[in-house]
Amino acid sequence: MTELVLSDLSRRYGSALAIDGINLTVQEGEFLTLLGPSGCGKSTTLASIAGLDKPTGGRITFGSCVLADAATGTYLPPEARGFGVVFQSYALWPHLSVEDNVGMALRLRKVPAAERARRVSEALELVELGPFAKRYPGELSGGQQQRVALARAIVFRPPLLLLDEPLSNLDAQLRQQARVWLKDIQRELGLTTIYVTHDQDEALAMSDRIVVMRGGKVVQLGTPQEIWSAPCHPFAASFIGSANLLQVSGAAVPQAGPCEVTLSDGQVIRAHTPDARLAAGAQLLAVRPHLVSCEPRENASELRVEFGAESYLGDHFVQEAHVAGTAIRLSVERPQPRGAGRIWIRQQDAVVFAADQ
C-alpha cells in the first residue's frame, strides 16, 4: 500500500501560520477532499504535497519515499515527485496545442514518439476531447480547458492526482456535470486523489473522506455522511449545512449524550453533545436551518422568537428570526408572519459544543 502521510506539517509565512501541524493519512485509491473557506490552508497543503511550496515544519512521506522533511532539510522538487496536478487556473500553456500540452510529460520522460501519440490520444479520448488535439487552449471553452488540464495531469500515470478547485471557474450547470464525470474517471482509473474545494456540495458528492480545515488546522476528518450528520466541531457544523450558532450556557456533561442548555433570555433547550467532556458555563448550540420547525413536534423544545425578513429561493424561503438577541436563519416552506412567534427544535437536531473552539 502506498500511503501518503503528512506528519505535523506546517508552513509559516513570516509570523503567519498558513498550515499549523497537520496530520493526515491518505489511503491508496482514496478520493480525499480538503474543504474549507479561503485562507484555511487547504491550497497550501496541496502545494506542499505537490512540491510547489516548501513546508517549514513536519514531514511528508509517500510509501517509503520521504518527499519533504523540515527536520533533515529533505525537499523533493515537484518534477521528482511525479504527481499529477490540475490547477485552478488550468495553467495550460497557451503557445502549445492541446496534444503538445498533454504530451509534454511524456516528451520529458523520453517516451518514444509512437507510444506518446497513442497515450496522448487515449488520454484525450478519456476526457472526450479527441477531435480537439490540434487546437490551442485559447480556442477552447472553459470546460474544455479544464478537461485538457485533467488529461495533462493523468497522461503520465501519476500515483497521486492533486486537484486545486478545478471546477470553480465553471458555471453552475457545467460544474454539476463535471463533478459526476470527474468522479467517474477517478473511480475508473482507481487514482488516489486529493481534491481542494470550498464548495460543500462538491465535497459531499465526490469524496470518500472529507477533511474540514480552518485556520491551518484540521477541524474534522470523516466520510461525507459523518461530517454531515455528526459534526464534532461548531465550525464543521456551520460550514457544512450552514448551521446557526447560538451562545448558550449549560452544566458540565461528562460524556457524549443528552444535555440541556439555557439561552441568554432564560429559555431552555434540550439538546445533545458529541463532546466527551463538556465543561460547564458558556457553550455553543448549533442548529441547521432546515431542521427548525414552525409547528410542534415530538421531543422538541419550544422557543419564542421574533420573525423577521424572508427571501424567496424558489423551492423554499429563508427567513430570519431573532432569538435571545441573535439572528438565526430558518428554512421554511411558507414564511411566517413577522413579529412574535414560536419555533420547535428536536433534541437530536440541537448540537452543543464547547464555546472556546
Partner 1 sequence: MAHLSLTGSDPASSAAPRYDRARLAQWLIFAITAALMLAPALPILLQVFVDRPLYSDGWQFTLDNIGQLVRDERIGRIALTTGLFALFSVVIAEVLGIAAALLIGRTDMPGRKIMGDVLMWPLYLSHLIFALGWVVMYGPSGFITQSIAQQVGGGMPWNLYSIAGMSIVAGVSQAPLAYLYCLYGAVRSVDSTLESAARTVGAGPLQVLRKVTLPLMIPSIITSTALNLVIAVETLSIPLFLARPARIDTLSTFLYGEGIAASNPNHGLVAASSLLLMALVGSTLIVQRLLLRQGHRYETVKGKGTRPMTLNLGRLRWPLAAVFAVLLLATVVVPVAGIILRAFTSFLSPLVPVTQVLTLSNFAKLFADEANVRAIWNTVEISLLSASLGTLMAVAVALVIQRSDFRWSGTLEALAYSPRIVPGMITGLGVFYAAVILPPMGWLRGNIGIIVVAYVMATLPLALGVIQPAIVQIGRDLDKAARTVGADWVGAMRIVLLPLLKPALLGSFILLFVFHLKSYIIAIFLMAPGLEVMGVSMLSLWTNGDVGPLAAFASFQIVLIAVLLILARVLFKVKIYD
**Chain residues in the site for partner 1 (CB under 8 A):** 50-52, 54, 77-80, 82-85, 87-95, 104-105, 108-110, 118-119, 122-123, 125-126, 152-159, 188-190
Give min distance, CB of 194 to partner 1, in A: 13
Q: Is the dihedral of CA 202, 205, 208, 209 positive or negative?
A: positive
Which CB sits closer to partner 1, 48 or 336?
48
Which CB sits closer to partner 1, 134 or 322?
134
- What is d(CA 243, CA 21) in angstroms, rounded to the nearest whole number? 27
Which CB sits closer to partner 1, 186 or 200?
186
Beta strands at 31-35 and 209-214: parallel, antiparallel or unpaired: parallel
Do 246 and 285 meet the contact criterion of CB atoms below 8 Å apart?
A: yes
Residue with cell 529533505: 74
Which CB sits closer to partner 1, 105 or 305?
105
Give min distance, CB of 58 to partner 1, in A: 19
Give min distance, CB of 50 to partner 1, in A: 6
Give min distance, CB of 79 to partner 1, in A: 5
Residue 160: helix, strand or coil by DSSP?
Answer: strand
Which CB sits closer to partner 1, 189 or 318?
189
- What is d(CA 128, CA 143) in angstroms, rounded to the nearest whole number? 11
For 325, residues 6+ apart whose C-beta sits below 8 A from its C-beta are 264, 265
Give min distance, CB of 144 to partner 1, in A: 17
If one counts every other C-beta atom within 10 angstroms of the C-beta of residue 166, the result is: 26
Do 138 and 80 meet the contact criterion of CB atoms below 8 Å apart?
A: no
Which CB sits closer to partner 1, 23 or 89?
89
- Say how many CA atoms lie within 13 Å of 138 toward its Cβ: 4
Give min distance, CB of 283 to partner 1, in A: 44
